[in-house]
């Protein structure tokens, strides 16, 4: 009985080459695996440590090259492009997360003191809940809204998540005790 040979697509032999257009007003510097994207006085640096990929710039484009074009390399190439697009948006517009303060049972006092974010009287607790805010993240409180801004999307998202987790309730029915701080908008996308 003859064995069947698997057919391979032509892409696996050829290699992968992805191109990403650099928007106007943005400077890109690539040194090995380090990519620095800057616009004006804002600058972001990120290390993409993937030994299968080589990054370079030519003709106002970022070139992503891999030796093989397997399914994994195509996914990684798309991931690299998505991270760089996020960095482009960060240095031009910035990333904004919005949170809502909800206090139905006890009036909660939320404040920022130095690099600390403090919640007092959460569900009548005597000890305040605190977190330390990260560098390069701006947090402002406007009435019952909290706005988290940064040029780095991951820092803004992690800070918003840390603030939300600060008021997590354990051991109580969340349908009744809805007090807390909740993310209502993630980088321009409303959460239902």
The full set of domain ranges for the chain reads: 10-92, 95-190
- Of 152, 38, 179, 103, the C-alpha closest to 160 is 152
Q: How many CA atoms lie within 13 A of 50 on its CB side?
A: 19
State the fold for domain 95-190.
Outer Surface Protein A; domain 3 (3.90.930)
Instruction: Let me know if the fold of 10-92 is the same as that of 95-190.
Output: yes
Tens of pLDDT along the chain (192 residues) come to: 555 544 444 344 578 888 889 999 999 999 888 999 999 899 999 998 877 888 899 889 999 888 888 888 889 989 999 999 999 999 999 999 999 998 877 788 899 988 899 999 888 888 988 999 988 899 999 999 999 999 999 999 999 999 999 988 888 777 777 788 889 999 878 886
State the fold for domain 10-92.
Outer Surface Protein A; domain 3 (3.90.930)
What distance in Å separates the CA atoms of residue 152 and residue 123, rounded to the nearest whole number? 33
pTM: 0.81
What distance in Å separates the CA atoms of residue 70 and residue 88, rounded to the nearest whole number? 27
């Amino acid at each position: 009985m003859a064995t069947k040979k698997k057919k391979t697509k032509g892409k696996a032999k050829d290699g992968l080459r992805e191109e990403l257009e650099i928007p106007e007003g943005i400077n890109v510097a690539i040194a090995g695996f380090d990519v620095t994207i800057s616009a004006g006085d804002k600058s972001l640096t990120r290390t993409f440590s993937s030994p299968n990929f080589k990054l370079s710039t030519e003709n106002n484009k970022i070139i992503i090259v891999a030796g093989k074009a397997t399914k994994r390399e195509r996914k990684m190439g798309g991931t690299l492009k998505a991270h760089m697009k996020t960095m482009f948006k960060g240095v031009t517009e910035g990333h904004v997360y919005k949170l809502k303060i909800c206090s139905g049972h006890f009036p909660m006092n939320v404040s920022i003191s130095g690099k600390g974010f403090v919640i007092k009287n959460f569900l009548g607790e005597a000890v305040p809940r605190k977190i330390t805010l990260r560098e390069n993240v701006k947090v402002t409180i406007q009435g019952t809204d909290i706005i988290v801004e940064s040029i780095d999307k991951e820092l803004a998202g992690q800070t918003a998540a840390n603030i939300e987790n600060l008021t997590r309730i354990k051991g109580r029915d969340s349908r009744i005790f809805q007090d807390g701080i909740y993310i209502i908008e993630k980088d321009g996308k409303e959460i239902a």
